[in-house]
Amino acid sequence: MRMRPTLSWTPTEDLPEGTTDLEPVADALSAGGVLVLSGAGISTESGIPDYRGEGGSLSRHTPMTYQDFTASAEARRRYWARSHLGWRTFGRARPNAGHRAVAAFERHGLLAGVITQNVDGLHQAAGSEDVVELHGSLDRVGCLSCGDSLPRRELARRLEEANLGFEPVAAGINPDGDADLTDEQVGDFHVVPCTICGGVLKPDVVFFGETVPPPRVEHCRRLVDEATSLLVLGSSLTVMSGLRFVRQATQSGKPVLIINRDATRGDRHALTRVALPLGTALTTVAGRLGIPVDGHATA
């Protein structure tokens, strides 16, 4: 039986204070072989809120769990209504300076790869190529029965046709692309089935309470093994899906560096935690290394 997801974390020990010293980060990148692990915090400057920071979405929103989604048609109706509306805003988000800096580090051969916990595709839109989407991507949708897959834009078209005039005003958008709607706003939103078998469609993302596919985890573990250091960007590391890689790096003697304004669950494993905005911190480091951070984007 799966446990309910970990949605919050409270330190049970005194953790080191964050610093503004970027030299350890610059030193690690100049040595090369850095593996980036990014979380929702890197996308906040693109207008997508994080889960747990100041004003984070968990203060007003409980994410859909895999168990609820698969067990309840009403839960699926609520999810798809909110996700369909949120997709319109989510799809307009553009990479920020933090994403562009990561892409610039990759182009200059300083990275061993990028593991992202985000489902927004912004690393790739900024130009990063070697990206593992740990929790999947909202760009894809799959059938839970027959396994057929389709682009999200195709599902969006079908949902538009099935719900003409659906134009509620959301109170906010969440990191998983889920818009904040009341039950009254959801109304009788019509959910469309798989066109192949009539089964239940689900976004190709790992919901809270769901496990990351083992082959994907093993691929990420190999990346950690091959890296010289691990740089965590904008993740509280509350959930084990990301924290396990920090622990793995520490156990193998590789330095862990974190850039996150708030304390994280991985701080006690880290060489340093830089408490600066990510866009500012990463562009500053890039400047020190003589690497231009341009507006290159593929989407």
pLDDT for 246-257, tens place per residue? 999 999 999 999
Instruction: Say if residue 236 carries a ligand binding annotation.
Output: yes
| 101 and 195 fall within a common domain | no
User: Which of these three, 205, 226, 246, is where a domain ends?
Assistant: 205
Instruction: Say if residue 51 carries a ligand binding annotation.
Output: yes
The catalytic residue among 99, 135, 190, 296 is: 135
- C-alpha to C-alpha distance for 57 and 297, rounded to whole angstroms: 27
| 222 and 262 fall within a common domain | yes
- C-alpha to C-alpha distance for 12 and 267, rounded to whole angstroms: 12
Q: Looking at the domain assignment, is residue 81 inside a domain?
A: yes
| 42 and 70 fall within a common domain | no
User: Which domain CATH number covers 103?
Assistant: 3.40.50.1220
Q: Looking at the domain assignment, is residue 299 inside a domain?
A: no
- C-alpha to C-alpha distance for 51 and 171, rounded to whole angstroms: 16
Query: Is 84 in the active site?
Result: no
| 28 and 153 fall within a common domain | no
| 150 and 38 fall within a common domain | no
Instruction: Say if residue 220 carries a ligand binding annotation.
Output: no
| 144 and 253 fall within a common domain | no
pLDDT at 270: 96
pLDDT at 68: 94
**What is the domain range of residue 164?**
54-92+140-205
Q: Looking at the domain assignment, is residue 1 inside a domain?
A: no
The count of structural domains within the chain is: 2
| 112 and 198 fall within a common domain | no
pLDDT at 51: 57
Contact 253, 44 (CB under 8 A): no
Instruction: Say if residue 234 carries a ligand binding annotation.
Output: yes
- C-alpha to C-alpha distance for 41 and 79, rounded to whole angstroms: 23
Which positions of the chain have pLDDT values less than 50? 1-5, 52, 55-60, 296-299
pLDDT at 58: 46
| 125 and 198 fall within a common domain | no
- C-alpha to C-alpha distance for 62 and 161, rounded to whole angstroms: 28
Q: Looking at the domain assignment, is residue 225 inside a domain?
A: yes
pLDDT at 154: 96
